[in-house]
Amino acid sequence: MPTSPASPTARPSEAAAIAAELRTAMGKLTRRVQHEDQIPLGQVAVLGALDRDGAMTTSDLAADQRVRPQSMARAVGLLMEQNLITRRAHPTDGRKSLVELTDEGRAALEAERGRRVGWLAQAIEDELTDEERVLLERGAALLERLASR
C-alpha cells in the first residue's frame, strides 16, 4: 500500500522531494513579496533585527545578519543618513556604541511589513478558493512547526 507524503511512514526520498518543492516555492514567494519593498532588503533586515532584538552594536548586527562588519557599517551609515536608526553610547563599554531604531525607522519598517502583508493578502484573496485558504492556513501552522524545530 503506498504511503502519502504526510504519512509518518513516508520514505526519505519522498520527504526530500517535498522539501525540494517547498524550498523552491518558498523562495519564489519570498522574492515576490520582497518585490513590494521600497527599502533595500538588507536594510529592511537590519531594521527588523533591531525591532525584534533591540539595540545592538554594529558587530552584533553583522553577526546576526551573517555579513562582514564592514558591510554592516555601510548599511548602518545609510540607515543613519535616512534617520531610520541612531547611535547611543554603550552603557557598560565606552569603546562601543549601540544602534537602535528611531521612530521614523519603526514607521518605515511597519510600512514595509504592511506592503508585504497587503500584497500577500490580496493574492490569497484573488487566487485561492475558500477550501484552499483553509489548507494554506493549516500549512502555515506546519511551516511554523518546522521552523521552530
Cβ atoms of residues 102 and 88 within 8 Å: no
* Whether this model's pTM surpasses 0.95: no
Residue 115 C-alpha cell reads as 506592503
Say what percent of the chain tops pLDDT 90.
82
Q: Which helix (H) or strand (E) holds 84?
A: none
Helix (H, G, I), strand (E, B) or coil at 59: helix
CA 113 to chain centre: 10
Reported as type and span, the H/E element at residue 67 is: none
Q: Which domains does the chain have, with CATH numbers?
A: 15-147 (1.10.10.10)
DSSP 2: P
Q: Dig out the grid coordinates for 107 from the structure.
A: 514607521
For residue 1, what pLDDT is reported? 41
> What mean pLDDT comes out for the span 43-61?
96
pLDDT of residue 36: 85
Span 62-83, average pLDDT: 96
Contact, 92 vs 133, CB < 8 A?
Answer: no
The 3-state secondary structure of 9-35 reads: CCCHHHHHHHHHHHHHHHHHHHHHHHC
In this prediction, residue 7 carries a pLDDT of 55
Of 13, 70, 79, 18, the closest CA to residue 46 belongs to 79
When the pLDDT of each residue in the chain is averaged and rounded to a whole number, the result is 91
- Per-residue pLDDT tens digits for 90-127: 999 989 999 999 999 999 999 999 999 999 999 999 99
Q: What confidence category does residue 29 fall into, taking pLDDT thresholds of 50, 70 and 90? A: very high
- CB 47, CB 108: distance < 8 Å: yes
